[in-house]
Amino acid sequence: MILSCSNINKAFGSNEVIKHASFHIEDHEKAAIVGINGAGKSTLLKIIIGELPSDEGEVVISKGKSLGYLAQHQELSGDNTIWEEVLKVKQPIIEMEAKIRQLELDMKHASGKELESMLAAYSRFNHEFELQNGYAYQSEVTGVLKGLGFTEEEFNKPVSALSGGQKTRVSLGRLLLTRPDIILLDEPTNHLDMNSISWLESYLNNYDGSVIIVAHDRYFLDRVVTKIMELDCGEMTVYQGNYSDYSQKRAMIRDAQMKAYLNQQQEIKHQEEVITKLKSFNREKSIRRAESREKMLDKIEVLKKPSEINDEMKIRLEPNIISGNDVLTIKDLTKSFGNQLLFDHTNFGIKRGERVAIIGENGTGKTTILKILNGIIPADHGEILLGSKVHIGYYDQEHQVLHMEKTLFDELQDTYPSMNNTRIRSILAAFLFTGDDVFKRVKDLSGGERGRVSLAKLMLSEANFLILDEPTNHLDITSKEILEDALNHYTGTILYVSHDRYFINKTATRILDLTNQTLVNYIGNYDYYLEKKDLLTPIYAASEETLQTSNEEISEVKLDWKTQKEEQAKLRKRQNDLKKTEEEINRLETRDSEIDELLGKEEVFTDVPRLLELNMEKESMLKRLEELYVLWEELAD
């Protein structure tokens, strides 16, 4: 055991945030603290590192073990570059290297005992330098910075010019490079793109020390942690396993608790009815029996009603009009800002009922696509066609659809003037705004609260095509699960941008990966995307780097310019043939299903000429499909 917390209590005024929380962490263990916003997760981390005192309880860290802590927000200043700021962590190694180099110079002019002493020191320093990975410390720093999403061109940026998210990434890099025995991370994935999060997952899984994480990224928790500590109404419960294991066990436990509570309440109600009835007889014996039952009731330890976190928050999204089958068609969409091309001649379409996620690295233009669709910014080129009876509902991560000076009540009333006061209050209550909360101004709300107001407006819009930009940002885990359930039961169409891989995995029926200025289509959830991206990205979105590598290989075998062009033309033709083959397979498979349906109808199977015609068509199609499957396999390889 490397860390132990026993009976930790913490209150702020009358608000008891943590009540008798106890847990321990083993050496090399990876654990997470979860709970709703305001549950006390960050407070507990600060108590562990000694930044905040606990009211009661004890934190014990094994002797000689070091702690490293990353807070949610970082304040870095000064004239250091990113490289210099992170390299400060390696100062002891740098100083040791300087001593070794100085000894090498001094030994050239020494002799006798002085030389022997220098040789002994040189050997000792070299051994220590090697143990601390001194020969590779610069490569280690470069690897961590690149893993966290910085390019080598950015290494020379001054930290004073960085955004808050970039400063957090620099601080995370410094922490990882110090390699403490216990790492405490508060929302480490908030400012990372998907590639950086995947890199961090791999880094932490291979980390020798222990890790405690506070995070709302459930996919990240699934891949990293093996223990979950839940803070709920101040009380801590420890679950073994990753987030999915915890979610299942928590649901089972709360179901059992709710059944026990309801059964007890039913029994109490029954006994109270019996007591009332016995007393109504107004006889000595019946009154004594009623008093005996009352004494039994008084001895019962009444169970508390289990609290499902945010169980009052209800989101029901339903369109009031059904749209046509073709909801959105995009043709030749192009957009650039200055010299930066985001996407070029991009085409895609969305059918009714689809839930499509756009993913990609930061800065590739995902949110730009949504803003173009909503007319917030213009496209440079291209055509956007909305289908019949399509009504858009837009959720903006920057909450530009909200008016900062209005109260919550006015925000809804002005948008939907036909709604009465009771209806507005009930809608806001469904999103956890009760009492005088409805008269708060939008500008005074937290990011998460503004997100809930935007979702309330979206629910009332009764749109049949929802366009959502980072809908889970600032939501706690339970609110995310409620939103997931609402979207999965929504009968309209959804297009959204998100970095929340767990959310994507739960809700998406199709993924569009914006990479190398084009969209690559994956018909499945996030797990399917991970399985297929290495196969499909080179086919549909080969990067300049890939093409450059191909050109270098061609140069190595001394092909002339004409041969290079022929090879590139063959590659393009193979890619086109693959697309055409897929389209023909889809068309024939659809027709095959149609024929099967027709063959089951009485008016068809009793019509012999029609039956023979359909059977011949089916037989011919199946032969062609067999050929196409073989062809597709060859082209894909």
Q: Would the pLDDT of 2 be above 90?
A: yes
Residue 399: predicted pLDDT: 56
Domain match, 450 and 375 both: yes
Domain match, 551 and 425 both: no
- CA dist list (Å): 125 to 109, 238, 268: 19, 45, 76
Q: Would the pLDDT of 146 be above 50?
A: yes
Question: How far apart, in whole angstroms, are the C-alpha atoms of residue 457 and residue 413?
Answer: 10
Question: How far apart, in whole angstroms, are the C-alpha atoms of residue 78 and residue 161?
Answer: 10
Domain match, 446 and 389 both: yes
596 token code pair: 């099967």
Confidence of residue 74 (pLDDT cuts 50, 70, 90): low
Residue 313: predicted pLDDT: 53
Domain match, 379 and 479 both: yes
Let me know how long the chain is: 637
Q: Is residue 286 part of a domain?
A: yes
Confidence of residue 210 (pLDDT cuts 50, 70, 90): very high
Domain match, 453 and 566 both: no
Return the residue matching tokens 């109404």.
233
Domain match, 556 and 596 both: yes
Residue 53: predicted pLDDT: 93
Residue with the bigger pLDDT between 458 and 198: it is 198
Domain match, 555 and 493 both: no
Left (φ > 0), alpha (ψ -120 to 50) or beta: where does 78 sit?
left
199 token code pair: 């890199």
Q: Is residue 8 part of a domain?
A: no
Question: How far apart, in whole angstroms, are the C-alpha atoms of residue 286 and residue 392?
Answer: 68
State percent of the chain over pLDDT 90: 30
Residue 542: predicted pLDDT: 65
Domain match, 388 and 366 both: yes
Domain containing 611 equals 545-636
Question: How far apart, in whole angstroms, are the C-alpha atoms of residue 196 and residue 201?
Answer: 9
DSSP-derived secondary structure for 562-592:
HHHHHHHHHHHHHHHHHHHHHHHHHHHHHHH
Confidence of residue 418 (pLDDT cuts 50, 70, 90): confident
Residue 470: predicted pLDDT: 86
Q: Which run of H or of E encompasses 59?
A: strand 56-61
Q: Is residue 321 part of a domain?
A: no
Answer for the pair 85, 162: CB distance below 8 angstroms, yes or no. Answer: no
Domain match, 529 and 549 both: no
**516-567 pLDDT per residue, tens:** 888 999 988 999 998 888 888 887 776 555 445 444 443 443 444 455 456 6
Domain match, 423 and 525 both: yes
Neighbours of 592 (CB within 10 A): 15
Work out the burial of residue 216: count CB atoms within 10 Å of its CB; fewer than 13 is exposed, 13-18 middle, 19 or more buried.
buried
Collapsing DSSP to helix, strand or coil, 635 comes out as helix
Domain match, 456 and 590 both: no
Residue 557: predicted pLDDT: 38
Collapsing DSSP to helix, strand or coil, 253 comes out as helix
Question: How far apart, in whole angstroms, are the C-alpha atoms of residue 380 and residue 337?
Answer: 10
Dihedral sign of CA atoms 555, 558, 562, 566 in order: negative
495 token code pair: 């297009």
Q: Is residue 217 part of a domain?
A: no
Confidence of residue 30 (pLDDT cuts 50, 70, 90): very high
Residue 385: predicted pLDDT: 93
Q: Is residue 379 part of a domain?
A: yes
Neighbours of 174 (CB within 10 A): 21
Most confident range (mean pLDDT) of 98-107, 281-290, 602-611 is: 98-107
Residue 637: predicted pLDDT: 59
**342-372 pLDDT per residue, tens:** 988 889 999 999 999 999 887 788 989 999 9
**49-66 pLDDT per residue, tens:** 999 999 999 999 999 999
Q: Is residue 579 part of a domain?
A: yes
Picking from 634, 632, 619, 540, the residue whose alpha carbon sits closest to that of residue 584 is 632
Number of domains within the chain: 4
Q: Is residue 372 part of a domain?
A: yes
Question: How far apart, in whole angstroms, are the C-alpha atoms of residue 77 and residue 111?
Answer: 48
Q: What is the CATH number of the domain that holds 382?
A: 3.40.50.300
Answer for the pair 634, 574: CB distance below 8 angstroms, yes or no. Answer: no
Q: Is residue 171 part of a domain?
A: no
Domain match, 339 and 445 both: yes
Q: What is the mean pLDDT of residues 155-161?
A: 86
Q: What is the mean pLDDT of residues 570-580?
A: 79
Domain boundary among 131, 161, 191: 161
Q: What is the mean pLDDT of residues 244-265?
A: 88
Domain boundary among 540, 572, 600: 540
Domain boundary among 540, 574, 597: 540
Question: How far apart, in whole angstroms, are the C-alpha atoms of residue 333 and residue 20?
Answer: 58
Neighbours of 233 (CB within 10 A): 14
Amino acid letter, 536 = L
Answer for the pair 83, 158: CB distance below 8 angstroms, yes or no. Answer: no
Residue 558: predicted pLDDT: 40
Q: Reading across the β-sheet that carries 235-240, which strands appear in turn?
A: 67-70, 182-186, 210-214, 30-34, 227-232, 235-240
Q: Tell me the Cα Rg of the chain.
A: 32
Residue 250: predicted pLDDT: 87
**447-483 pLDDT per residue, tens:** 667 877 887 887 777 789 999 988 887 677 777 887 8
